[in-house]
A and B are shown apart, each in its own frame.
Chain A
Amino acid sequence: MFEGFASLLSTYGPLLAEAVVMTLTVTAGAYTLGFLIGVPLAIVRTYGRKSLRSAAAAYIEVIRGTPMVVQLFILYYAAPAAGLTLPPTIAAILALGLNSAAYQAEYFRASFLAVAKTQWEAALSLGFTEKQTIKTIILPQSIRVAIPALTNELVYMLKYSSIAYFITVPELVYTGKFIGSRTFMYTEIYAIIAVIYVTFSLIFTEGMKTVEKKASAPGILLHERI
């Protein structure tokens, strides 16, 4: 059994390293995209005009109500018929990112609502506009509140990047399947891959804890943590 692991690692180590890079690329790409879309989505969903608010809410509900695999397949297999052909890696980043945006928007919304109402009143009474209040008062505080939820989301993205396997992105699971089909050591290779995923999810969790500590601002009173 253990010789199996050793021989797999020595033969396929470089290939696995490439797969790790691909998994991390998809994770980071999707998470960043999710953040960049998620923040404005949350602002519109919370503070926007009624029509915009409903549109944002509908997007979030639809994304959260359907499996990510279905979204990925629509983007990769169904979109070409409509003239949108994407390379697998781009399709995976886009599908996961659009999905993450909906979840991140919900975390941000919860964190916006966690900032005390008196802060709004204070800002408005000082003559801030709504836009200024969101930008300079609400966002800096609520992003800090959202960090634990954003940590979970990052680990989620890491794990869900595995479904990119279905559309032939050469990430960890896809590479595992390839190595398994050559060596017939499916169990061993998936055990190795599981260890890699666990390692990175622990690293991400610890890393985000450091970010949380670094970003914490003393004296900020928050209603609740989400």
Chain B
Amino acid sequence: MDPEVLNYISVIFSGLINTIILTFVGIAIGTALGAVLAFMEVMGPPSLSRVIGWVTRIIRGIPLLVILFLIFYGFPRLGIPLPPLPSAMLGIGIRSGVYQSQLFRGSMEAVGRGQLEAAFSLGLSKWGAFKHVILPQAVRLMIPGWVNEFTIVLKDTSIAYAIGVTEIFTEAVHVAQVVLDYLPPLLIVAAMYFTICYSVSHISDRLYRKFMIPGLGGSIEQGAENV
């Protein structure tokens, strides 16, 4: 193989750690935020539920690129300077959070009202019913959607290029600008994303079956990637 290509690869791989950090932190923030939002939307009083519904709808209407710029330029104005990497984590996390709240909500609703009523009639509190009855079932139903969200977040980390985070896409573009040849570095970085996405989405089915409890009801609407 051309030694130059090997050089490309090592430079691009140096961005992999940031891509992975961004993906996992983004997903983690998103899961925490999504669970809280969904809990408030489903279990909260109608007025709170409506407010949450509107807030998530509004945030879902803003492109990630604009969210990143708002955080990157907005936080310093509030007196909190935020470097590119944390800005990107926060932006990706918030975006993922409002999507994951939809996922949580969909799977919670799929578990069914009857289970909730049964839990209340057994004397569980709202939080207790959520924690012990709804969540363990809902999380299982969520797996395919959640794995899908993982690949979306992974791909979206490339947009952090806009605020100068040195993840794999940024590194690939830098290489391209130095060697004045865009195709090889772009193909390499595309192959890296593809490898991760492809393998992750193909373990989804296995995970789903592994954690499935036989005989447990409930089904979640599938098919639409962009919930």
Contacts and interface: CB of A to CB of B under 8 A. Distances in A.
A150 B32 CA distance: 29
Contacts, number: 135
Given A69-B161, A81-B183, A198-B58, A107 B70 contact: no
B57 interface: yes
A70 interface: yes
A66 interface: yes
Interface in A71-90: 71, 73-74, 77-78, 81-82
A76 to B, nearest CB: 9
A178 interface: no
Contacts of A64: 151, 197
A160 B69 contact: no
A69 B19 CA distance: 15
Given A153-B226, A156-B226, A202-B61, A65 B73 contact: no
18 contacts: A64-B151, A64-B197, A65-B197, A67-B155, A67-B159, A69-B159, A73-B182, A74-B186, A74-B190, A81-B181, A81-B183, A103-B226, A107-B224, A149-B226, A162-B63, A193-B66, A197-B63, A198-B62
Interface of B: 57-58, 60-67, 69-70, 73-74, 77, 151, 155-156, 158-159, 161-162, 169, 172-173, 176, 181-183, 186-187, 189-190, 193-194, 197-198, 201, 221-227
Contacts of A193: 66
Given A149-B224, A162-B66, 10 more contacts: A66-B155, A66-B190, A66-B197, A67-B155, A67-B169, A161-B63, A190-B69, A198-B58, A226-B221, A226-B222
A166 B73 CA distance: 18
B65 to A, nearest CB: 4
Interface of A: 61-62, 64-71, 73-74, 77-78, 81-82, 103, 106-107, 110, 148-149, 152-153, 155-156, 158-163, 165-166, 173, 176-177, 180, 186-187, 190-191, 193-194, 197-202, 224-226
A226 B224 contact: yes
B194 A159 contact: no
Nearest to A180: B73
A83 to B, nearest CB: 12
A19 to B, nearest CB: 12
Contacts of A153: 226
A69 B158 contact: yes
Nearest to B74: A187
Interface of B is mostly: helix
A201 B161 CA distance: 25
Contact of B183 (A68, A69, A78, A173): A78
B69 A186 contact: yes
B60 A201 contact: yes
Given A187-B70, A202-B57, A65 B63 contact: no
B225 A194 contact: no
B69 A176 contact: yes
Contact of A159 (B57, B63, B181, B183): B63
